[in-house]
Amino acid sequence: MCGIIGLLSEHRDVVPELLDGLKRLEYRGYDSIGVATLNPNGELERRRTEGKLAALSKLLHRKPLSGFIGLGHTRWATHGAPSEINAHPHATPEAAIVHNGIIENFQEIKTRLLTEGRCFETQTDSEVVVHLVSQKIRQGLEPLAAVRETLPLLEGAFALVFLFAYHHDLLIGARRGSPLAIGFGENEMAIGSDALAIGPICRQLIYLEDGDLAVIRPGSVKIIDQQGLSAVRPRRISSVASLDLGKSGYRHFMLKEIYEQPQVIGDTLNTMINPVTGRLSLPNLPELKRTNRLTIVACGTASFAALIGKYWIEKLARLPVDVEVGSEFRYRDPVLAPGQAALFISQSGETADTLGALRLCRKMGQGILSIVNVPESTIARESNVLLSTVAGPEFGVASTKTFTAQLTLLAALALVLATHRGHLSEQQETHLIRALMEVPAICAEILANTGPMEALARELLAPARDVLYIGRGLSYPLALEGALKLKEISYIHAEGYAAGELKHGPIALVDENVPVIVVAPTDHLFSKTASNLAEVNARGGRTIFIGDKDGLAKISNLAGSLILPKIDPFVIPLVYAIPIQLLAYYAAVTKGTDVDQPRNLAKSVTVE
């Protein structure tokens, strides 16, 4: 939520690099955007606008801005509508700030400052920060002292970067809850929400810990931890500099990322399969091996991966699994016996609700495991054991390749647990590992012929106002994921249901205008799902079947169908994820929505 960046150069104008960094941060929010610099006289200057980077570039063309030091911000609105006035950086004559997070006690602070005669120009929570700091500077404090007196007054989560009038060689960053990384470039220092923002500029990075304050000057950074003591954080080489961060000729990042899945699934498997023995091995998971119950917490798409993980682990390893969404779990006073294990699944590794749940579980004596795509993220760093999805950066706001990478790890985890707990023979394990290893090729085969998905999305989904997705067993979480994908990028109202639940209420929605997508691969539940499909048909509904040839032969009266290769039921979620993603993608393209940056959303959800 909101991307922030600060740059300090000894030799060049930082505005082009700020814009470049903001481009890579847009996945965090994109409703308004701005930059601030110091002019040669040391005064603060800003350019801000509603909209995305393109709007800011246009504005800068009309009203140029330059400077050797500056801040940038791309916003996902929490308090105050997306508008130029509410866009960051917020500034006074003394200082400018960019903020990611929420200042929960902003109203109290604002009321007090208003009575003291300060004037506010925005409806944001963030503006109080710049007023507090400026007030202290006016009272005679140096910038660092002013920031140190301000931070304890703030409640909530924040990553903040401060720029001060007449201080050409100073940026201050502070982190509580929201992530911040600092980069060391050639005659350049950078600070930003993540490595993607600053990695291409800086070969070496450090990540601030919670409570850290960073004083950035040319060539150096001084870190003060939450106890007020000087601290050292390890420097790492940025892996981002060498990555391909473009669309490689694809029309959208989402499409590129869908097509990367055979590779990503294969790469993730290769991190776990011993090439000599052909057997799976995962990092040592002592709590998991001891536990008699596993709690999995995640949000959104990651929570549907978790649900599939539950089905796999319970069936194969006979270990009870609870799946919860972070926002509910952390506030409902859950009962957890010490010494059990909890698993957190997150692409970004920064989702506030998932992270809050992790910290609660840690307090309650749980062993903490995570499945994360960004290894330097907070969730990754706060886990006892990290299972990394090796999917590379995902820019499309809708998760695709990271979903299947999460599933790959969960499938492997289920097999390792099943073997360890004595529920799977070596022969069965070998069979299921082979099935997993065939997935990349099967996915590649499906991706080689996307015409039927495109046609179906264009003809049946894009014109619809409402769409239902149903499935049973492993296909039920896929139905949930299919509906989420469709609504988030095409804005078509869609709901996913367990196929057996349809008759308990949702079937009332069925008429000839509501396409019902039935995810029904051939598995032990096929005939039951086929009956549910028939029930929809009997009520004049229009059913779209996603399954295989054997299944198709057993049903009739379809409005449309997608036929996939026949596969081992174990790997259904990995393979069927692809048509589900593509149906949403092509429906969105037909409707002309902003596929990579759908309205109202952001990729990294660092607020509650």
Q: Which is nearer to ligand F6R, 47 or 252 (CB)?
A: 252
Amino acid residing at 373: N
Sign of the dihedral defined by the CA atoms of residues 186, 191, 194, 197, in that order: negative
Give the closest residue to 517 by CA, choosing from 535, 540, 542: 542
d(CA 91, CA 46): 8
- Cβ-contact 181, 7 below 8 angstroms: no
Under DSSP, is residue 241 helix (H, G, I), strand (E, B) or coil? Answer: coil
- Residue 115 CB neighbour total at 10 angstroms: 8
- Decide whether 387 or 520 has the Cβ nearer to ligand F6R: 387
Closest Cα to residue 574, out of 413, 428, 418, 411?
411
Nearer to ligand F6R, 33 or 306 (CB): 306
Question: Can you tell me the distance from the alpha carbon of 420 to that of 437, in angstroms, rounded to the nearest whole number?
Answer: 21
CB atoms inside a 10 Å sphere around CB 152: 7
CB of 406 to ligand F6R, least distance (A): 8
Selection from 575, 555, 559 nearest residue 567 by Cα: 575
d(CA 581, CA 595): 12
Catalytic residue among 2, 202, 299, 361: 2
User: What is the nearest approach in angstroms of ligand F6R to the Cβ of residue 300?
Assistant: 2
Nearer Cβ to ligand F6R (129/478): 478
- 401 in active site: no
- The nearer residue to ligand F6R, 49 or 399, going by C-beta atoms, is 399
By the 10 Å C-beta count (0-12 exposed, 13-18 middle, 19+ buried), 562 is classed as buried
Q: Which residue in the shown chain puts its C-beta closest to ligand F6R?
A: 300
Q: Put residue 111 in one of left, alpha, beta given phi > 0 → left and psi -120 to 50 → alpha.
A: alpha
Strand duo 213-217 + 171-176: pairing: antiparallel
Shortest Å distance, C-beta 476 to ligand F6R:
17
Closest CA to 566 of 523, 506, 530, 528: 523
Q: Which of 23, 256, 487, 603 is catalytic?
A: 603
For ligand F6R, the closer CB: 150 or 581: 581
Report the nearest approach of ligand F6R to the CB of residue 485 (Å): 6
Helices and strands, number each (H, E), in the chain: 20, 25
Nearer to ligand F6R, 346 or 543 (CB): 346
Give least dist CB 383 to ligand F6R, A.
Answer: 13
What six digits make up the tokens of 1? 């939520």
Shortest reach from residue 306's CB to ligand F6R, in Å: 10
Between 300 and 515, name the residue whose CB sits nearer to ligand F6R.
Answer: 300
What amino acid is encoded at 533 in this protein?
L
Task: Give the count of beta carbons closer than 10 Å to the beta carbon of residue 508.
Answer: 9
Q: Shortest distance, CB of residue 299 to ligand F6R, whole angstroms?
A: 4
What are the residues binding ligand F6R (CB under 6 A)? 299-302, 346-348, 351, 354, 398-399, 484, 488, 605
Least distance in angstroms from the C-beta of 150 to ligand F6R: 30
Q: Let me know if 554 is a catalytic residue.
A: no
Helix axes 261-270, 401-420, angle to 10 degrees: 30
- At a CB cut-off of 8 Å and minimum separation 6, what does 577 contact? 261, 400, 403, 404, 407, 478, 481
Q: Please give the positions annotated as active site.
A: 2, 603
